[in-house]
Structure 1
Amino acid sequence: MSNPKFIVESNKVFNEFIKCAQIQLNGKLNIKSSQGKQWTFYYRLGQIIWATGGTHPYRRLRRCIAQTCPHIDINNIELDLKNLSRDYWDYQLVENLYRKEVVKQEQLQAIVEKTIAELLFDIAQRVNSEFLSCDRNQEVILEAPISSTSAQMCLKQMQDSWNNWRKAGLANVSPNLAPVLRRPKELQQQVSSSVYNNFVNLINGKHTLWDLAVKMNQSVLPVTRSLIPYINQGITEFLEVPDLPLPVTKVKNSPTVSQGKKSTIPLIACVDDSPQMCKILEQIITANGLKFIAIQDPVQALPILIQNKPDLIFLDLIMPVVNGYEVCSQLRRSSVLSKTPVVILTGSDGLFDQVRSKVFGATEFITKPVVTDKVMEMVNKFTGTKTASTVNHPSNLAVCYS
C-alpha cells in the first residue's frame, strides 16, 4: 500500500506544474529531492520550453540527439566552457545546433519533448520514495525560446508511462541503472548464439536502460522487462553508473596563473564570494610556498578552473546565483576536474551539509573559522606536499567570513 504522505507529496509536486501553466509562468520551477537530486523546468507563458538536471544530464542529451538526429556525430560535439557555468548549458548546445541549421525545428521539438519526458518520469519514480520540494522563480531565464511544450500533455504522458512501468512490477527499477552480465556461461546455455552475442556487446555495465532502449530502437519498458528474468536468476545485475564526462573546448584568453609548461608547484584554488575569505586562504597558501588562485564569482568558476587545472579546490557553500553544491556538481561533470579534490568551506559542522555535499561530489570539509594547521593538513593530504604549517603566521588566527 502506498504511503499516504507520499501520495500527498506527489499531488503537491504535480499540482505545481499545473499551477505554473495556469498563472502562465515566465521563469523556472526547481524541484529538489531529500536525497540531493534537482530538476529544473524552464517556462515561457506557462509552457515548458526546456528541462534539465536529474542523474545523467549529458547521457540524456547524447541519447536524445542520437535518437532524433542520426546524421549528427555526437562524439564530435564539444561544449563551450563559457556556457558550462549555466544550468541550461544543454539547452544552449541544442539551440546552437538549431541556429547553425544542423537540426530542424521538428527535430528540436522532439529533443525537448524527450528530455522533458525522461525528467518527469524520474520525478514520478522518486516521489514514491523521497520527499520533493518545489521552488518557483519568476525570473525570465530563456528570453527567446525556440520550442515549447504543453505541461498538461507532458504530465498525462508521464502518468501513462509510470502506470505501465509500475504495473510491470518495475517500480523499484530506475531506467538510469545499467545492466551488467555476471554469469555468461549460464546465459550461454539458455539462449541462442545471436542473443548471447548481443548480451556480451550491450549488457556490459556501460549503458543505462535508457541508453539500451535507444540503441535497440525500442521503448525502455520492453527492454527492461526482457532483462528481469536474468536479473532474478543472478545472471545479470543492475548497477548505478556516473554521467559521462563533458567534452569541452579549450578556453582562449582566459586568466591563468602562469603561461607555458605546468609548474610542479601545486596550485590551490578558492571559490568563495567573500574577498576576506579568499585573502586569508591566500596568505596561508602562499606563505607555505604554494600557488594560489581566488575566484569570487561562482558563475565564472568552472571555465577558470578548467583552464588552470588546480590540484585542490576550496569551495564555499553559500554563494549568490550559483551555490557550492551546484559548482561541485559542475566540477564532477567535467572530464578535466572530475577527480580534483574539493574541500568544502562550511559555516557549521552540520551533518546535513556534509551528507549533501558528498552527494554532489565533495571530497572533504573544513569548518569556519579556518586555521592554518587545518588548511595545510588538507593541502598536504591531497597534493602530496610535506609543507609545514606556518604556526606563527598572522593568518593562523581563526577568522570566519560568510
Structure 2
Amino acid sequence: MELDNLLGAFTKCNQLQYNGKLDVKDIRGNQWTFYYNLGQIVWATGGINPHRRWLRNIALICPQIDINKLLIQEEEILIDYWDYLLLENLYHKQEINQAQFNDFVVNTVGEQLFDLAQQANISGLTWECSQDTILKAILTSTTTNIFIQEMKKSWDDWSKAGLINFSPHLSPILTKPEKLKQQVNNTVYKNFERLINGKHTLWDLAAKMQQSTLAITTSLCPFVNQGIAEFVQVSDLQLSTKKVKLNSSSKSVQKDNCFIVACVDDSLQVSKILERIITSEGIKFIGIQEPLIALPMLVESKPDLIFVDLMMPLVNGYEICEQLRRISIFTQTPIIILTSSDGAFDRVRAKVFGATDFINKPVEKDQILKILNKYLQISETEHPQNFAWFC
C-alpha cells in the first residue's frame, strides 16, 4: 500500500507535467530527490551511498574517464544535485557523449526507484513537492512511466527470488574461506577472495562483472546459507576533491558586512576593467575566466551581485544563469548579463533563464556604477573613504 501511494505521487507529477522536485524521506532520515521537467523524471539524487553510485556508474558507463584524475571541487559537493552538475560538466566539455549521458541518467534513476520500492516494504515513507529547483532535460528519452514499469518489474523479480530482506547496498564477505576452498576450484576461489571481501556492494559487483544485481545476489545466497559468506553493511566512499583557489583579486573573501561582486567572463580584459571600477567603490571583486568552474567558486564566495558574459565557450551565459537560479542562495541574487548584442531576442531569452538586467559591451564605468547603485543600493555620493566603515 505504501508503495502504491508513492507511485501515485510519481504518476500525478507526470500527468500534471510538473516542473520541480519530489523529495521522499524514510523514518531513518534517508532522502531521495527526483527532479521533474514537464512531467518527466530527468535526474534523481540522494539516497543510500550516493558517492558509490556516482563512481560506480562512471566506471561502468564512462570507462574513458580516469576517476583518479577527475578533480572535483569541494564546493560542488555542497549542492544538492552535485552529481548532475558533474555529469553535465563532463558532457559540456565533450568528455562523455550523448549516449553515455543518457545511460547514466537511466541507471541512476533506476537504482533510486528500486531503493524506494525496498524501503517502502521496510518502513514508512513521506514525500513532498517543491519548485525551488528545476533541472532542464538534456537528453533523457526514457519517460516516467517506463521508469516506473521497470522498477515494478525489478522489484517483483527481486521479491520472487526471496530477496526482500537483502539490500543491494549490502556487501558480501567471506567468513569461512577454508570451507569454500573445499567446494570450488582455485580460479573460482581466487575470484571470491578478490571480490567478496566486504569492499564492494552487490550493486558494485554487478557493475564490475557486468551482470544483473539479481543474478549476482542469487548466486551468492547458497554460500550465505552455508555460512561461508555473509552480507554486511558498508559505508559510502569518499570522493577525491580539491579546494577552489580564488584568483588574486578575490583572496580571503569574507562576507562580513562588505558587498561582493563576481564576474564570469572568459575575457581577462573585461574582468580587469570591471575589477578596477568595482574595487574603486570599496567593493570586493571576484573574476572567473573558466565558466565550467564558476558554480563552485560562486557557491563558496556567495556574491551579492553577479555579472555573466553571454557568449562563452562550452557553457554560455544562459546556462550559467539557469544553473545559478537552481541554487537556493542565488534565487534572489541580481544576475547581470554582459552582451555585445542589442537583439531583443537575446534579452527576452536571458530573462526566461533568470537574468535580472543587461549591460552592453564594451563596458563603461557609468553603466557599472548605475547597476551597483540600483541593485546594491549604494548612494552615488558614497566614495571608498566613506564606504570603509561598512566593511
**Equivalent runs, 1:175-214 vs 2, <5 Å:** 175-214=168-207
Counterpart residue number, 1:32 = 25
Counterpart residue number, 1:122 = 115
Whether contact under 8 Å (2:21, 2:133) holds in the other structure is yes
Counterpart residue number, 1:132 = 125
Change (3 A) 1:241 1:85: same
SS in 1 for 2:29: coil
Whether contact under 8 Å (1:79, 1:249) holds in the other structure is yes
Cα distance, 1:257 vs structure 2? 10
Q: C-alpha distance in 1, partners of 2:43/2:72?
A: 18
**Equivalent runs, 1:282-301 vs 2, <5 Å:** none
Equivalent residue letter for 2:130: N
Deviations 1:210-241, CA, capped at 9 Å, x for gaps: 00011111111111001101111111111111
Counterpart residue number, 2:237 = 244
**Residue 218 of structure 2 corresponds to residue 225 of structure 1:** yes
Q: C-alpha distance in 1, partners of 2:232/2:299?
A: 29
Change (3 A) 1:114 1:95: same
Q: C-alpha distance in 2, partners of 1:89/1:64?
A: 15
**Equivalent runs, 1:8-27 vs 2, <5 Å:** 9-27=2-20
**Equivalent runs, 1:2-401 vs 2, <5 Å:** 7=1, 9-143=2-136, 145-147=138-140, 149-253=142-246
Q: C-alpha distance in 2, partners of 1:195/1:88?
A: 40
Cα distance, 1:35 vs structure 2? 1.3
Cα distance, 1:138 vs structure 2? 2.3
Q: C-alpha distance in 1, partners of 2:300/2:40?
A: 32
Equivalent residue letter for 2:169: N
Counterpart residue number, 2:289 = none
Q: C-alpha distance in 2, partners of 1:25/1:86?
A: 22
Whether contact under 8 Å (1:47, 1:148) holds in the other structure is no
Q: C-alpha distance in 2, partners of 1:152/1:98?
A: 26
Cα distance, 1:148 vs structure 2? 5.1
Counterpart residue number, 1:367 = none
Deviations 1:231-267, CA, capped at 9 Å, x for gaps: 1111111111111012112221387699xxxxxxxxx
Change (3 A) 1:65 1:300: closer
Cα distance, 1:200 vs structure 2? 0.3
Cα distance, 1:140 vs structure 2? 3.9
Q: Over aligned residue pairs, what C-alpha RMSD do you find?
A: 2.4
Whether contact under 8 Å (1:80, 1:248) holds in the other structure is yes
Deviations 1:113-162, CA, capped at 9 Å, x for gaps: 00000000000001011100111112343246443531110000010011
Deviations 1:336-355, CA, capped at 9 Å, x for gaps: xxxxxxxxxxxxxxxxxxxx
Equivalent residue letter for 2:237: L
Change (3 A) 1:301 1:32: farther
Unpaired runs of 5+ in structure 1?
A: 1-6, 259-298, 305-319, 323-402
Counterpart residue number, 2:343 = none
Equivalent residue letter for 2:95: V
Equivalent residue letter for 1:227: L
Q: C-alpha distance in 2, partners of 1:38/1:301?
A: 26
Q: C-alpha distance in 2, partners of 1:184/1:240?
A: 20
SS in 2 for 1:175: coil
Task: Provide TM-score, normalisation by structure 2.
Answer: 0.63
Q: C-alpha distance in 2, partners of 1:233/1:141?
A: 49
Whether contact under 8 Å (1:44, 1:145) holds in the other structure is no
Equivalent residue letter for 2:173: V
Percent of aligned pairs with the same amino acid: 49
User: Paired residues, what number?
Assistant: 260
Q: Which one has a bigger Cα radius of gyration?
A: 2
